[in-house]
Amino acid sequence: MASYPSDALAPTAAFPVVSTVKYSSTGASATVFNLSQPVSHSGEVAAFIDGVLQGTSGYSISNSGATVTFLATPNASNLTLQTLSLPAALVASSPVFTTVQQEYSNTTAVTVDSNSFTINSNTISFVFPAAATPTTTADFEVFVGGVYQNPDAFTFPSTVYGSQGIDIADNTATKLLLNFASNLTDDSDSSHTATFRHGTAAYTGSSLTFDGGDEYLFIPTHGDFNVNKSFTLDIWNKPDTGTSMTANQTLFARHETSTNFYELKYVGANSNVGFIVNEGGDITEIYGGNANGGSNYHVAVSYEASTANLRLYVNNVKVAHTNYVPGVTTQSGNVVIGANNDFASNGEFFNGSIEFVRFAEGSRYRAAGLQPVTDFSPNKQTGAPLGAISEDDTLSLRVFNFSADTISRFQSMADRKPDSGIESSRTFDVTTFTSQAGYEKRRLKSRRSKRNYDLTYSAITGVEKTAIETFYNARSGTFESFTFDLSHVNESGTIVARFDGPLTISQTYSIGNRLIDNFYTVSFKLMEVFD
């Protein structure tokens, strides 16, 4: 069955032939042939293999337009290559739309441009496919676990990869970030002021050292440090060897009173890590892991409010978890790093060095195991990725590439939309009659509606007019049905249709005798049928 508009073909003879070159017995290996004169694109060449016109998709222009290259060997007894003169109006320059996609998972490392990526709660910067060149967030889509993410859920351009990637992080989620790069500067957007007390801050490389005597770091109270919502506190540190490991040592604490506080600490001779929350005597605590002096440890506590799950990690392994439902809606108290409080009774001083301290909104760590922490100087982008992306999730980056490509000369009405009117309607077949009692009766012949379309093309050349006219005549007007591609009228799918009435053609103007020099308005009606 014929199809409209793709089978409404333009007559090749309508285009003037500029030059012709013929080849005999091309053989079974040759694919490249010289043209009689250079051209710009494949639409300017009409190729006949043993008298059969070839579609432009079967060959391309090569060598700066001097040759034509066939996708498959013509192997022709006679190959004729005509160079055509095409008016600009009939050159089909179409937008080309492609999608390139990059998938990331928590199980398989993906290598893009020599960089390896795995969803592990530590990798927060991901690159687009190598061929992608987005310029705005409108050029791509981000999906986490198959769910579309709004542009405010990620950062573009990436702070690491620029316009070639995104950061799956919220800058505002990181509330405290101390990297101790020979200073006490908070690198987060909150810019908290940290003060070293009872001594002078001393640095070893990019670590701040504590003597275990009376030194600690002080930060004034702020709502950023509340633990009655999802949060993550993680610290990279190295406790010293010796007797200090036999006593409690506090890494991070916030005390309002003796019965309202929370602490992250090393616990006595057991060398466990513990996190304790005391809310008016209602205590929630978790302990686990093993810590020894002289070794580096990444210690983290992560709370997911939606599941009431409080998790403790030591060296990237979940060592404990418990249920936690905050009982305090408002919290206060100064933050102390390296001691248990800022009162006169403070103690449990930390002896060792700390590489970084980070406090962020969002449950950063959720899985039982993590990839080792290798970024000892994280930036603020590393806070609460996508609030936060789980290690069980997948990440998909889909980039839309748009380009304009001259694909061919005008070949069929598929290249031309009805520019001056599309009217559509639906009808049902209903029989109406009058009963003996005088009542009107109706009978529905079918519950399938029939669609009807009125199409009008204005100021089209004789080439396009002839394509429509030839298709109409081949169907014997209203007699023969055909497949109608609804994309031609900006809908989806196809229907079986026939012409519903005459083909109306009116000449608009003429500038010569050739088809390409004469212009027309053409209109017709289509009716859906169920042949």
Mind giving me the DSSP string for 9-40? Answer: BPPGGGSPEEEEEEEE--TTT--EEE-SS--S
Q: Where are the domains of the chain?
A: 17-84, 172-388, 411-528
Reduce the DSSP state of residue 506 to 3 states and report it: strand
Q: What is the mean pLDDT of residues 142-160?
A: 84
Pull the structure tokens for residue 224.
């950023």
DSSP output for 128-143: PPTT----SGGGEEEE
Structure tokens, 484: 């109608």
- 3-state secondary structure (DSSP) of residue 270: helix
Non-local CB neighbours of 162 within 8 Å, separated by 6+ positions: none
pLDDT of residue 428: 79
CA atoms within 13 A on the CB side of 104: 30
Q: What order of strands is seen across the sheet that includes strand 32-34?
A: 32-34, 67-70, 59-62
State the Cα–Cα distance between residues 310 and 490, nearest whole angstrom.
53
Summarised one tens digit per residue, pLDDT across range 166-216 is 988 666 778 999 999 899 999 888 999 999 999 899 998 889 999 999 999
Q: What is the end-to-end Cα distance of the chain in Å, rounded? A: 11
Please compute the mean of the pLDDT values over residues 441-454 and round it to a whole number.
80
Dihedral angle of Cα 26, 27, 29, 30, to the nearest 10 degrees:
-10
Q: How many Å separate Cα 51 from the centre of its chain?
A: 48
217 beta partners: 196, 337
Phi-psi domain of 476 (left: phi exceeds 0; alpha: psi -120 through 50; beta: other): left
Residue 217 buriedness (CB in 10 A; 0-12 / 13-18 / 19+): buried
Position 384 confidence tier, pLDDT thresholds 50, 70, 90: very low
pLDDT score for 300: 93
Q: What is the model's pLDDT at position 405? A: 60
CA atoms of 338 and 322, how far apart (whole Å): 25
The pLDDT-based confidence of 247 (bands split at 50, 70, 90) is confident
Q: Could you tell me the two tokens for 327?
A: 């009982």
- pLDDT band at residue 362 using 50, 70 and 90 as cut-offs: confident
Confidence at residue 391, expressed as pLDDT on a 0 to 100 scale = 60
Q: Would you say 189 and 171 are in contact if contact means Cβ atoms under 8 Å apart?
A: yes
Q: Would you call the peptide bond into 368 cis, given omega within 30 degrees of 0 as the criterion?
A: no
pLDDT for 122: 64
Q: Is the pLDDT of residue 284 over 80?
A: yes
pLDDT band at 393 (very low <50, low <70, confident <90, very high): confident
CA distances from 172 to 175, 176, 475 (A): 7, 10, 66
Q: What is the value of pTM for the model shown?
A: 0.53
pLDDT value for 468: 96
Confidence of residue 429 (pLDDT cuts 50, 70, 90): confident
Token pair of 182 as six digits: 């020979």
List, for residues 54-112, the tens digit of each pLDDT value: 888 789 899 999 999 999 999 999 999 999 988 777 776 666 667 889 999 878 888 88
- Name the percent of the chain lying above pLDDT 90: 51
What does the buried/exposed string (b/e) look like for 105-127 if buried means 16 or more CB atoms within 10 Å of the residue's CB? bbeeebebeeeebebbbbbbbbb
Taking the CA atoms of the chain, what radius of gyration do you get in angstroms?
37
For 2-31, what is the mean pLDDT? Answer: 91
Whether the predicted pLDDT of 389 surpasses 90:
no
C-alpha span between 291 and 314 (Å, rounded)? 9
Residue 200, classified by CB atoms within 10 Å of its CB into exposed (0-12), middle (13-18) or buried (19+), is exposed
Residue 264 · residue 253 · CB < 8 Å = yes
pLDDT (tens digit, 9 = 90+) per residue, 303-327? 988 889 999 999 989 999 999 999 8
Angle at 115 between CA 113 and CA 120, to 5 degrees: 140
CA nearest 123: which of 356, 360, 395, 312?
395
Write down the pLDDT at residue 380. 60
Parallel, antiparallel, or unpaired: how do β-strands 334-337 and 272-279 relate? unpaired
> So what's the pLDDT on residue 387?
44
pLDDT at 374: 63
CA 311 and chain centroid, separation: 31
Residue 300 and residue 362 in contact, taking contact as beta carbons nearer than 8 Å: no
Furthest C-alpha separation in the chain: 112
Give the pLDDT of residue 386: 43
Residue pLDDT, tens place only, 467-503: 999 999 999 999 999 999 999 998 889 999 999 999 9
Specify the 3-state DSSP secondary structure of 467.
Answer: helix
pLDDT of residue 363: 80
The average pLDDT across 145-157 equals 84
Structure tokens at 380: 């603020």
- Reply yes or no on whether the pLDDT at 329 is more than 70: no
pLDDT, position 66: 95
Mean pLDDT over 351-375 rounds to: 80
pLDDT exceeds 80 at position 435:
no
Mean pLDDT of the chain, nearest integer? 87
pLDDT over 80 at 331, yes or no: no
Return the CATH fold of 172-388. Answer: Jelly Rolls (2.60.120)
Q: Say whether 386 sits in a helix, a strand or coil.
A: helix
Asked if 362 and 71 count as a contact pair (C-beta separation under 8 A), the reply is no
What pLDDT sits at residue 466?
93
pLDDT score, position 161: 87
